[in-house]
Homo-oligomer: A and B are copies of this chain.
């Protein structure tokens, strides 16, 4: 007999724990049927495996009690904790021996890693390292990312809820901005380093009778400060309260981040530059060049962790991704990742991990207008189904009830 292991890694989303809940559900069923004898979680992703920090997920959920799993699925970020540790390219690296030894000692045969691009790279390497050592261990992925930039999936679980939160927040920012009868510019900064999916979601209010936001700049197009000033001036001709949305990762023609003047130069473990501040840069720039009242709003980490505004479509698809990833792993198949084939109805399929790892799917050309300062109706038509449905988040004493796996 052997066990099913789950880990979470990368950055948070509102629904990663929904994928975890789906995996625990399948694991609990498999324990009941006698196929396996336990479901473990590694604390802080692969770091937890390396240091043999495992937690019994059936114990902390009363053997997969469905109410507890639902409550877990409404809790943002990662109940198991995360990590950002890229594994060595050299499959002979002794770290792989450490990992495999830890898994074998914990009686783990089946592993599902919930994560994005970098985590799929981890799945791929672990599969290859185990194969090279003739270890009968099976690793599969379950995709997630608020960025929606993963290959082979109709959308990435996490994006639907982030898009919904951004849509709600944009509507409220529009209401807030329109009350004064004076010209003002509001710059809203959203996440998105390479792909502008979150910026595109900021245009959702167009589908609800709003003319705002008036400008949306995605990293898929070269950003020009002069073009921005011209755009804002033109919008002021017909609107008092201009709202511009900008993704953190927009670059100027020289290939540098537009916010580069404010960057520390620091990079994370995967070599990604830390970005923030383009909203504030544009606020200051507009005040000086257009002499208008300007303010900036950075939606910040709340856009990825706002479980209270979760999309039910996103939550339920994320759950199904977890279920199918676990089912496939228990069939002794590895090197795949569960992705979304379609929604309405939600169809999950398994993609080869090599087709997902380390690819970035950008916003396609026909979703961006010719001027490169707005998304098209096609983009809205794609995003709208992903934000459908509200989750019955349970409140206790005035705040949402979050579930903790701590036993």
Contacts and interface: CB of A to CB of B under 8 A. Distances in A.
A12 B176 CA distance: 6
Nearest to A293: B266
A81 B180 CA distance: 6
Interface in A248-304: 252, 258-262, 264, 266-272, 274-277, 280-281, 284-285, 287-288, 295, 297-298, 300-302, 304
A179 B168 CA distance: 26
A400 interface: yes
A49 interface: no
A368 interface: no
A400 B165 CA distance: 11
Given A168-B400, A281-B268, A284-B274, A176 B301 contact: yes
Given A307-B172, A399-B171, A179 B275 contact: no
A371 interface: no
A305 B168 CA distance: 11
Given A268-B261, A276-B280, A179 B390 contact: no
Given A171-B400, A180-B83, A274 B301 contact: no
Interface stretch (A72-80, A96-104, A114-122, A124-132): A72-80
Nearest to A388: B398
Contacts of A205: 399
Nearest to A160: B398
Q: Which one of A47, A76, A268, A287 has the greatest number of beta carbons of chain B within 10 Å? A: A268
A242 interface: no
A269 B225 contact: yes
B76 A175 contact: yes
Nearest to A47: B181
A262 B274 contact: yes
B173 A305 contact: yes
A258 B268 CA distance: 9
A321 interface: no
Contacts of A261: 266-271, 274
Contacts of A311: 398
A300 B262 CA distance: 20
A402 B175 CA distance: 9
A179 B400 contact: no
A262 B269 CA distance: 8
Interface string A303-314: 011111101000
A175 B309 contact: no
Contacts of A219: none
Contacts of A274: 261-262, 277, 280-281, 284
A39 B275 CA distance: 50
A280 B398 CA distance: 30
A173 to B, nearest CB: 6
A370 to B, nearest CB: 26
A204 interface: yes
Given A172-B76, A285-B270, A164 B12 contact: no
A280 B279 CA distance: 13
A82 interface: yes
Minimum-distance CB pairs A-B, first 6: A387-B398, A77-B175, A261-B268, A82-B179, A176-B305, A172-B305
12 contacts: A44-B180, A83-B181, A176-B304, A176-B305, A204-B399, A208-B397, A261-B268, A261-B274, A262-B274, A268-B285, A384-B397, A384-B398
